[in-house]
Amino acid sequence: MKTYNSTRALRAAAIGIALAAAGTNARADVKDYEFQLVDKTVKKGEAVISVRLVHKPDGKPVPDAVIFAKRLDMAPDGMESMKTTIDAMPSTEPGVYKFKAAVTMEGGWQLSLGAKVQGETGTVESKLVIKATP
Protein backbone atom coordinates (compact mmCIF):
# COMPACT_ATOMS: atom_id res chain seq x y z
CA MET A 1 0.00 0.00 0.00
CA LYS A 2 2.83 2.38 0.82
CA THR A 3 4.47 1.71 -2.55
CA TYR A 4 1.21 2.54 -4.35
CA ASN A 5 0.81 5.86 -2.50
CA SER A 6 4.47 6.75 -3.09
CA THR A 7 4.14 5.97 -6.78
CA ARG A 8 0.99 8.10 -7.03
CA ALA A 9 2.70 10.96 -5.19
CA LEU A 10 5.75 10.77 -7.45
CA ARG A 11 3.57 10.64 -10.56
CA ALA A 12 1.56 13.66 -9.38
CA ALA A 13 4.76 15.57 -8.61
CA ALA A 14 6.18 14.75 -12.05
CA ILE A 15 3.00 15.96 -13.75
CA GLY A 16 3.08 19.15 -11.69
CA ILE A 17 6.72 19.81 -12.59
CA ALA A 18 6.03 19.13 -16.28
CA LEU A 19 3.09 21.54 -16.29
CA ALA A 20 5.11 24.21 -14.52
CA ALA A 21 8.01 23.79 -16.95
CA ALA A 22 5.67 23.98 -19.93
CA GLY A 23 4.30 27.28 -18.61
CA THR A 24 7.74 28.85 -18.25
CA ASN A 25 8.96 27.62 -21.64
CA ALA A 26 5.99 29.12 -23.48
CA ARG A 27 7.25 32.17 -25.30
CA ALA A 28 5.57 34.76 -27.40
CA ASP A 29 6.02 34.74 -31.13
CA VAL A 30 8.16 37.49 -32.65
CA LYS A 31 4.97 38.56 -34.45
CA ASP A 32 3.68 39.60 -31.01
CA TYR A 33 6.18 42.48 -30.97
CA GLU A 34 6.17 45.68 -32.96
CA PHE A 35 8.01 48.96 -33.24
CA GLN A 36 5.90 52.12 -33.07
CA LEU A 37 6.97 55.65 -33.90
CA VAL A 38 6.86 58.02 -30.94
CA ASP A 39 6.56 60.97 -33.38
CA LYS A 40 5.49 60.52 -37.00
CA THR A 41 7.20 63.70 -38.17
CA VAL A 42 10.71 65.08 -37.83
CA LYS A 43 12.36 68.31 -38.91
CA LYS A 44 14.70 68.27 -41.89
CA GLY A 45 18.34 68.32 -40.76
CA GLU A 46 19.83 66.54 -37.74
CA ALA A 47 16.81 64.65 -36.45
CA VAL A 48 16.20 62.43 -33.44
CA ILE A 49 13.84 59.57 -34.21
CA SER A 50 12.28 57.73 -31.27
CA VAL A 51 10.57 54.35 -31.55
CA ARG A 52 8.92 52.20 -28.94
CA LEU A 53 9.12 48.41 -28.99
CA VAL A 54 5.96 46.89 -27.51
CA HIS A 55 4.58 43.46 -26.79
CA LYS A 56 1.26 43.71 -28.68
CA PRO A 57 -0.89 41.37 -26.53
CA ASP A 58 -0.42 43.46 -23.37
CA GLY A 59 0.90 46.76 -24.78
CA LYS A 60 3.91 46.73 -22.46
CA PRO A 61 7.21 48.28 -23.57
CA VAL A 62 10.09 45.88 -24.25
CA PRO A 63 13.41 47.07 -22.83
CA ASP A 64 16.86 45.65 -23.59
CA ALA A 65 16.22 44.49 -27.15
CA VAL A 66 19.30 44.30 -29.34
CA ILE A 67 18.81 46.34 -32.49
CA PHE A 68 21.28 44.99 -35.01
CA ALA A 69 19.87 46.36 -38.27
CA LYS A 70 18.83 49.90 -39.04
CA ARG A 71 18.35 51.80 -42.27
CA LEU A 72 16.74 55.12 -43.18
CA ASP A 73 15.87 55.79 -46.82
CA MET A 74 13.32 57.61 -48.97
CA ALA A 75 11.53 54.49 -50.26
CA PRO A 76 8.06 56.02 -49.57
CA ASP A 77 8.83 58.73 -52.15
CA GLY A 78 10.19 56.22 -54.69
CA MET A 79 13.85 56.95 -53.88
CA GLU A 80 15.00 53.84 -52.00
CA SER A 81 18.60 54.48 -53.06
CA MET A 82 18.48 57.84 -51.23
CA LYS A 83 19.64 56.70 -47.80
CA THR A 84 21.26 58.48 -44.91
CA THR A 85 23.33 57.78 -41.84
CA ILE A 86 21.59 56.66 -38.68
CA ASP A 87 23.18 56.14 -35.26
CA ALA A 88 21.77 54.74 -32.03
CA MET A 89 21.48 57.12 -29.08
CA PRO A 90 20.94 56.46 -25.39
CA SER A 91 17.40 56.55 -24.05
CA THR A 92 16.18 56.94 -20.48
CA GLU A 93 12.72 55.48 -21.08
CA PRO A 94 12.42 51.66 -20.99
CA GLY A 95 11.36 50.24 -24.34
CA VAL A 96 12.12 53.46 -26.24
CA TYR A 97 14.98 53.40 -28.71
CA LYS A 98 16.42 56.62 -30.14
CA PHE A 99 18.37 57.29 -33.30
CA LYS A 100 20.13 60.35 -34.67
CA ALA A 101 19.86 60.76 -38.43
CA ALA A 102 20.83 63.27 -41.08
CA VAL A 103 17.47 63.87 -42.75
CA THR A 104 18.60 65.71 -45.87
CA MET A 105 15.28 66.24 -47.67
CA GLU A 106 11.64 66.89 -46.89
CA GLY A 107 9.26 64.03 -47.64
CA GLY A 108 8.69 60.44 -46.68
CA TRP A 109 11.45 58.40 -45.06
CA GLN A 110 11.33 54.71 -44.19
CA LEU A 111 13.00 53.48 -41.03
CA SER A 112 13.78 49.76 -41.29
CA LEU A 113 14.72 47.98 -38.06
CA GLY A 114 15.74 44.46 -37.09
CA ALA A 115 15.95 43.46 -33.43
CA LYS A 116 16.36 40.48 -31.14
CA VAL A 117 14.19 40.29 -28.03
CA GLN A 118 15.74 38.51 -25.07
CA GLY A 119 14.32 35.03 -24.59
CA GLU A 120 12.73 34.88 -28.04
CA THR A 121 13.84 33.16 -31.20
CA GLY A 122 13.58 34.96 -34.50
CA THR A 123 13.90 38.59 -35.44
CA VAL A 124 11.47 41.45 -34.93
CA GLU A 125 11.46 43.36 -38.20
CA SER A 126 9.70 46.61 -38.90
CA LYS A 127 9.40 49.30 -41.56
CA LEU A 128 8.06 52.62 -40.27
CA VAL A 129 7.30 55.72 -42.35
CA ILE A 130 8.33 59.14 -41.06
CA LYS A 131 7.51 62.48 -42.66
CA ALA A 132 10.28 65.09 -42.76
CA THR A 133 9.05 68.67 -42.69
CA PRO A 134 10.88 72.00 -43.21
d(CA 52, CA 36): 5
Per-residue pLDDT band for 72 (boundaries 50, 70, 90) equals very high
Residue 99 in domain: yes
Quote the number of domains for the chain: 1
Average confidence score pLDDT of the chain = 86
Beta-carbon contacts of 34 under 8 Å, excluding residues fewer than 6 positions away, are: 53, 54, 56, 124, 126
Task: Give domain status of residue 86, yes or no.
Answer: yes
Q: How does residue 7 score in pLDDT terms, banded at 50, 70 and 90? A: low
> What is the extent of the structural domain holding 106?
30-133
H-only helix segments in 2-122:
2-25
Could you report the per-residue pLDDT of 30-43, keeping only the tens digit for each?
899 999 999 999 99
Compute the half-sphere exposure of residue 102: CA atoms within 13 Å on the CB side of its CA: 5
Q: Is residue 60 part of a domain?
A: yes
- Classify residue 56: in a domain, yes or no: yes
CATH code at position 59:
2.60.40.10
Q: Is residue 23 part of a domain?
A: no
Confirm if 88 and 48 have CB atoms less than 8 A apart: no
* 3-state per-residue secondary structure call for 31-64: HHEEEEECCCEEECEEEEEEEEEEECCCCEECCC
